């Protein structure tokens, strides 16, 4: 009896090279993905991971190298061709039209036509099956970052791909949703689907992935079997050195710098979450963390605190001064800085240079005199941010859209940090950044807190909140739990509160924590 002929690998990349005017994104990269394999692609921000995946998906053409797909040499000229071949991709940066509904956005990406009713039904079925519920008739602009991520994932799964590329798919998913997604990915792999998985979350890679390829500076720096590695050894492969550890030591707090009392705010759109009687205090020299499942009022709370929406009922004070009716510029004049969850478009203007993006929020900090822009000061400030936060870019003249997601995040956090705030509000501080950059950002927040700044950090990363926070609250269905000290709670307890189950018990624990 003859031996069965082994099927060729699903994808083989050989010598893939891509150069840009200021950087070599990929240099002679080799990568093999087998059928039914979950293969991790790892590396620091700017290591070339996203560029390599865009080459596989037909978004970018390589300058050199070859692609073999199921044993055949292929030139992938467009995403449409990639989809016809059976390649699907979930991008880190969303490619959604905000003024269209979920169903309309998904229809644009499908190569087969179907009626709106049939498509809406399919979206509901697939989203429920994979534990990523979305309303097909909802407008995208009304959705949180986490909800938009669900749309991207469901859109891709509807195409039933042979190779599924996932670029930071769990960045803004809850722990519960991650478990469901992992179950789905394992089932897909068991059915023969290959998965290329890009993530900076080392625990996820060790739990989920069969093999890993590591990029550093655009080149392959090593391969590994993740389950046989530790987080430290994987981090060394990625960044070439030991990972620094953040330390949050007890700190003496000062006066209340941000006070919110009975904030009640109707959602601006029918699919939003209204805020009800939100109360919180943040003192100088402390970090108050807010946990919660995406879509439970985070978007509305951040808009109310930053000044994007004015207070309808209740009050907001900054440094003891009423601020509920002040616009964002006026609140910044009182010492507030803000890092939004959407870095591209809201945190930075994509076609503008890093220096010009510094001017947008830092005009009051010596960059404008007598109504005239001080170009030298603007550029010097941008260079300072780039140096202190290790932002990988050409220089301060580089446009924001040319940076990787993680490097742009470092720049925005650095910009707001160096504006010397009295109160700083940060949403999703380490979304999509590598482990080294995440530690750098978290340490920068801790350093600000030690300098007497009051920080409010909104994050869906419970591990992150337990690293940086002095006290913790949970936002669920537009209501905020009482605060609790970290020593008096646990991940399990906070996870329970995230489902909205806080009340008398939470009040008792908060009273104990404040005693």
Three-class SS string for 300-350?
HHHHHHHCCCCCCEEEEEECCEECCCCCHHHHHHCCEEEECCCCECCCECC
How far is 337 from 116, CA to CA, in rounded Å? 43
Element (DSSP H or E) covering residue 195 = strand 194-198
Provide the mean pLDDT of the chain: 87
| Average pLDDT over every residue of 393-402 | 91
Closest CA to 221 of 207, 240, 194: 240
More confident residue, 339 or 241: 339
- Between 232 and 60, where is the model more confident? 60
Confidence label for 176 from pLDDT (cuts 50, 70 and 90) = low
Percent residues over pLDDT 70 in the chain: 93
305-321 tens-digit pLDDT: 999 999 989 999 999 99
Average pLDDT over residues 315-330: 94
- Cβ atoms within 10 Å, residue 507: 12
**Residue 181 near residue 126 (C-beta atoms within 8 A):** no
What mean pLDDT do residues 464-492 have?
Answer: 90
Q: Who's near 127: CB < 8 A, 6+ residues apart?
A: 133, 134, 150, 154
pLDDT of the residue at 173: 66
Dist. CA 101–CA 417, nearest whole Å:
36
Stretch 341-370: mean pLDDT, rounded?
89
The end-to-end CA distance of the chain, in Å, is 78
DSSP string across 214-266? EEETTEEEEEE-GGGS-HHHHHHHHHSSPPP----------SEEEEEEEEEE-
Residue 515's pLDDT band, with cuts at 50, 70 and 90, is: very low
What is the arithmetic mean of pLDDT over 369-383? Answer: 91
Average pLDDT rounded to a whole number, residues 271-298? 91
- pLDDT band of residue 45 (cuts 50, 70, 90) is confident
Start-end of H helices in 29-78:
49-56
Higher-confidence position of 345 and 419 = 419
Q: Where are the alpha helices (DSSP H) in 472-503?
A: 491-497
pLDDT at 199 over 90: no
Structural domains of the chain ordered from first start: 11-239 (3.40.50.300), 256-335+421-514 (3.40.50.300)
Percent of the chain with pLDDT over 90: 54
pLDDT value of position 69: 96
> Which helix (DSSP H) or strand (DSSP E) does residue 153 occupy?
helix 145-157
pLDDT at residue number 202: 87
Residue 1: predicted pLDDT: 41
Residue 4 has pLDDT above 50, yes or no: no
Beta strands in 449-498 (DSSP E): 454-458, 471-476, 479-480, 484-485
Mean pLDDT of the 246-265 span: 88
241 confidence band (pLDDT: 50, 70, 90): low
- Phi (first) and psi of residue 368, to 5 degrees: -130, 135
Cross-strand partners of 216:
219
Q: Are 404 and 52 in contact (CB under 8 A)?
A: no
The pLDDT tens digits of the residues spanning 91-105 come to: 766 778 888 999 999
């Amino acid at each position: 009896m003859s031996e069965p002929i082994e099927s060729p690998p699903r994808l083989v990349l050989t010598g893939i090279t891509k150069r840009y005017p200021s950087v070599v994104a990929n240099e002679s990269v080799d990568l093999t993905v087998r059928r039914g394999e979950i293969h991790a692609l790892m590396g620091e921000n700017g290591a070339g991971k996203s560029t390599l995946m865009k080459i596989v998906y037909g978004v970018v053409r390589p300058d050199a190298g070859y692609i073999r797909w199921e044993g055949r040499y292929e030139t992938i000229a467009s995403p449409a061709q990639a989809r016809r071949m059976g390649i699907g991709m979930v991008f880190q940066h969303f490619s959604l039209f905000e003024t269209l509904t979920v169903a309309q956005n998904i229809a644009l990406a499908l190569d087969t036509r179907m009626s709106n009713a049939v498509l809406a039904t399919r979206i509901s079925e697939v989203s429920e099956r994979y534990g990523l519920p979305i309303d097909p008739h909802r407008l995208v602009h009304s959705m949180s970052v986490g909800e938009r991520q669900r749309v991207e994932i469901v859109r891709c799964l509807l195409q039933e791909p042979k190779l599924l590329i996932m670029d930071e798919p769990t960045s803004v998913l809850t722990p519960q949703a991650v478990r469901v997604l992992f179950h789905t990915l394992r089932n897909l792999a068991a059915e023969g689907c290959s998965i290329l998985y890009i993530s900076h979350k080392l625990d996820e890679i060790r739990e989920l992935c069969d093999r890993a390829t590591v990029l550093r500076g655009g080149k392959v720096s090593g391969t590994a079997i993740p389950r046989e590695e530790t987080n430290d050894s994987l981090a060394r492969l990625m960044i070439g050195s030991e990972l620094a550890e953040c330390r949050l030591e007890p700190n003496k707090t000062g006066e209340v710098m941000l006070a919110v009392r009975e904030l009640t705010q109707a959602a601006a759109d029918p699919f939003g979450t209204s805020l009800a009687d939100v109360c919180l205090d943040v003192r100088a020299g402390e970090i108050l963390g807010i946990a919660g499942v995406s879509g439970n009022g985070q978007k509305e709370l951040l808009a109310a605190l930053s000044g994007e929406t004015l207070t309808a009922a209740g009050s907001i004070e900054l440094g003891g001064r009423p601020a509920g009716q002040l616009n964002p510029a006026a609140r910044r004049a009182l010492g507030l800085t803000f890092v939004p969850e959407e870095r591209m478009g809201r945190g930075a203007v994509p076609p503008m240079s890093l220096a010009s993006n510094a001017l947008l929020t830092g005009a009051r900090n010596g960059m404008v005199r007598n109504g005239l822009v001080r170009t030298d000061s603007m550029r010097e400030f941008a260079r300072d941010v780039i140096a202190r936060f290790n932002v990988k870019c050409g220089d301060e003249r580089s446009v924001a859209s040319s940076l990787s997601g993680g490097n742009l995040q470092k720049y925005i956090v650095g910009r707001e940090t160096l504006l010397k705030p009295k109160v700083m509000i940060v949403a999703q501080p380490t979304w999509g950044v590598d482990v080294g950059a995440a530690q750098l950002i978290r340490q920068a927040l801790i350093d600000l807190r030690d300098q007497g700044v009051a920080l409010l950090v909104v994050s869906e990363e419970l591990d992150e909140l337990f690293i940086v926070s002095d006290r913790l609250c949970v936002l669920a269905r537009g209501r905020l739990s009482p605060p609790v000290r970290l020593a008096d709670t646990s991940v399990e307890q906070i996870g329970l509160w995230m489902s909205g189950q806080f009340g008398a018990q939470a009040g008792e624990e908060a009273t104990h924590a404040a005693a």
